[in-house]
Structure 1
Amino acid sequence: MFDIARADRSVREAIATTTSPGVIVPASSANVGPGYDAVGLALDLPLLATVEPPQAARVISFGAGADELPTDETNAVWHGLLTWCERTHQSIPDVTLHVHSAIPLEGGLGSSSAALVAGLSIGRMLVGGDVDINELATELEGHPDNALPALLGGIVVKPVHSAPRRFIPRRDLVCVVVHPDERMSTTQARSALPTHIPLADAAANAARCAAVVMGIAGLAPLDPTDFEDVIHQPARFAIMPTSGACVTALVNAGIPAFLSGAGPTVAALVSTADHPDPQGAVRQVLSDIPGQLDIVSLPMNTSGTITINV
C-alpha cells in the first residue's frame, strides 16, 4: 500500500538537501464536490523537480511511480519543459530532470498536473519567455481545477471564458485525505459519467458550488450538505464503493467530504476548532469501513509552485 506520509517525508528530505535549481509543486484536489472541472484546492504534498547535468535519461524519478514512469521525452515533466520551449521558440536545454514525488499515481491528487506544471515552470525558469503559464497549463492538462491550484495555491475557481479566481482557505481548515489501497485512471473514471444532467440538478449543483467556495474561503458557514454532487460523484461511487462509503460516513458525521478529483482518494475538510486532532476524528468515523485506508492530514497550500536555488 502506498504510504503518503512516508513519501512526503522522503521528498521533504530531498528538498532540504538539494542544491540544484528546481521547482516545488503541490498536489491538488479537484472538483471539491459540486465544482466539477471548475474548482480545485492546493494541498501541501510536494513534487520536487530539479535540473541536473545531462545523462542518458531525460528524467529520473524517485518516490511515487518511480518504477513505472518513463525516462524519455514521453515523461510528463519533460513534456511540460518541451512544450514551454516550443511555445517560446527557445532551444531545449541539455539537462536531465530529477523528480521526487509524494503524490500517488492515479489517486485523485493531481499527480499528472503536478508533473506538467513542474515541466512548464522549469522551462520558464531556464529559458524565460512571454507565455501565460496558467493558460498553457490548462490547455495541456485539460483540467484547470488541478493545474491552476498547483500553480497558484489556495482554492481556485476557473470560469470557462475568464481568468481564474483564487481565494485563501480558512486558516482553521485541514484537509484529511483518505487513500484506499487502489488506483483509478482519470480516463476510466470519466467513462462512468452520465452524458446528460437534468436542468434542476445542474441548477442545484451550481448553488452548492457557490456555497462551497464561500465556505472554504471563510465568507459563509461551511455546511457538509453543500458538498453533495449529482454530476460526477454518484456514477464514480458505483465503481469506487469504498470511496462512496467514506464520503457518506463523514458527511453523516458532520464533516465536509468529497471525492478528490477522479478518485479513489476522498478529501475531508476538518476544522481544528471543532476537532483538535483532525486525522484522529476522520479515522474514528471511518473505523468500520472495510479495507486498507491510508489516512493523512495535509495542510492547505497557499504558495502554489515555487522555485528554489536560483
Structure 2
Amino acid sequence: MRTHREVRVTVPASSANLGPGFDTLGLALARYDEVIASTAEGGLVVEVDGEGRGNVPLDQRHLVVRAMLATFAAFGKGPVGLRLHCRNGVPHSRGLGSSAAASVAGAAAAVALLGRDPEREQDTVLQVAAGLEGHADNAAASLLGGFVVTWKYRGGNNQDRYGATRLEPHTSLRPVALIAECESSTAVTRGLLPPQVPHADAAFTASRTALCVCAFTAQPGLLFAATEDRLHQPYRRSAYPSSLQLVDTLRKHGIPAVISGAGPTVLALPPDGELPADLVGPGFTSTPLAVDRRGVVVEHG
C-alpha cells in the first residue's frame, strides 16, 4: 500500500432510543468529529484535539484505531503504519453517540485507505461499528444520517449481525440537546435495567416505538405521545436524577423530551426549536442541533 494515501472523515453525533425505541431508533445530529487518517511506513501515531484530549488512549486501545484494525482484518489486509489526527466535537460520555461516531469514523477511514468505496461498503462499516457497540442505533445514525431503525439478527456461523434502514426525518424537526455537565457510563446505566418487564409495559413500548417512526418522519405533532417511555428511563433515574427531573419538567409543559441514549443529556423536540429559559436549570447547556441528513462523509487527501 502506498505510504502517502490520506483520507478525511467527518461523522455526526447521534441520539439513540428517542424514548421507547431502546437499541432500535436513532437520529443523527449536526455536531461532528473529524478524523484525518493516513498510511505510514510503520508504527502508529494518534493525535487528539477537542473532546477527550488528555483522557483517551493514544495507542491501539483508541476506539478509532480499534475500528480501523477490525475493518482491515475483515478484508484481510492493511497498511504497516498509521497516523491519525482526531478533532472531536462530540461530547464524551454524555449520550450523544461519541463512541459510535469514533467507530464509524475508523471503519470508514479504513475502507477508504484500502481504496474501496465507503458507500459500497456501508454494510461492512455498520457491522464493525455496531459490533464494537453491541447495538446499531447510534452507529447507523452516524453512518447513514437522518432517522434510522435498526435491528440485530443471527447471520452465518451463528454470528450476531446488524441491520439498519434510513428514513427521511420531517423537515420541521428542531432538536435541542440539553447537554449535562456530568458524565454517564453506558455500562452502569445498562446494569440498572431489570431482566424482565411487565407485559403491559412491553405492549406500551411496541405501540410507542411504532408511533415514533410515524412522528419523526411524517407527523411531528405526534412526538409528545410517541416519545413516552416505560422500558428503560424509569429504571435509570438513580443514575441521573436531575436529567429525568428535567425530562419530567419539559413534558409537564407539553414539550417532547427524552434521555438521549444512555444519558445524561436530555433531547428536547419543541415544535419551534425554542425552549423557555426558565425550564432549564443549572447543570445543563441548551444547544440547538440541526438534524444531520448526510451521515459520514469521506474525502480523499
TM-score after normalising by structure 2:
0.88
Give the 3 Å change call, closer, same or farther, for CA 171–93 of structure 1 in structure 2: farther
Aligned pairs (5 A) from 1:9-158: 21-52=7-38, 54=40, 58-128=45-115, 132-158=124-150
Which residue among 285, 288, 305 is the counterpart of 2:279? 285
Once residues 283 and 132 of structure 1 are traced to their aligned partners in structure 2, the CA distance between those partners, rounded to angstroms, is: 43
> C-alpha displacement at 1:239, in angstroms?
2.1
Matched, 1:307 2:273: no
Once residues 278 and 39 of structure 2 are traced to their aligned partners in structure 1, the CA distance between those partners, rounded to angstroms, is: 48
State whether residues 135 and 152 of structure 2, in contact with CA within 8 Å, keep that contact through their aligned partners in structure 1.
Answer: no
Residue type matched to 1:204 in 2? F
State whether residues 250 and 279 of structure 2, in contact with CA within 8 Å, keep that contact through their aligned partners in structure 1.
Answer: yes
Structure 2, unmatched stretches of 5+, are 1-5, 154-161
Structure 1, unmatched stretches of 5+, are 1-19, 273-277
Percent identity over the alignment is: 34
Give the 3 Å change call, closer, same or farther, for CA 93–247 of structure 1 in structure 2: farther
> C-alpha displacement at 1:252, in angstroms?
1.4
Q: Cα deviation per residue 1:116-150 (whole Å; 9 max; x = unaligned)? A: 11110000000045663222322222121111001
Once residues 151 and 101 of structure 1 are traced to their aligned partners in structure 2, the CA distance between those partners, rounded to angstroms, is: 16
Q: Secondary structure at the match of 2:31?
A: strand
Once residues 192 and 112 of structure 1 are traced to their aligned partners in structure 2, the CA distance between those partners, rounded to angstroms, is: 20
TM-score after normalising by structure 1:
0.86
Between Structure 1 and Structure 2, the one with more strand by share is: 2
> C-alpha displacement at 1:34, in angstroms?
0.1
Residue type matched to 2:75 in 1? T
Once residues 142 and 176 of structure 1 are traced to their aligned partners in structure 2, the CA distance between those partners, rounded to angstroms, is: 27
Once residues 51 and 132 of structure 1 are traced to their aligned partners in structure 2, the CA distance between those partners, rounded to angstroms, is: 18
Q: How well do the aligned residues superpose, as a CA RMSD in angstroms?
A: 1.9
Residue type matched to 1:260 in 2? S
Residue type matched to 2:196 in 1? H
Residue type matched to 1:140 in 2? L
Matched, 1:270 2:270: yes
Aligned residues: 282
Once residues 298 and 278 of structure 2 are traced to their aligned partners in structure 1, the CA distance between those partners, rounded to angstroms, is: 38
> C-alpha displacement at 1:305, in angstroms?
0.2
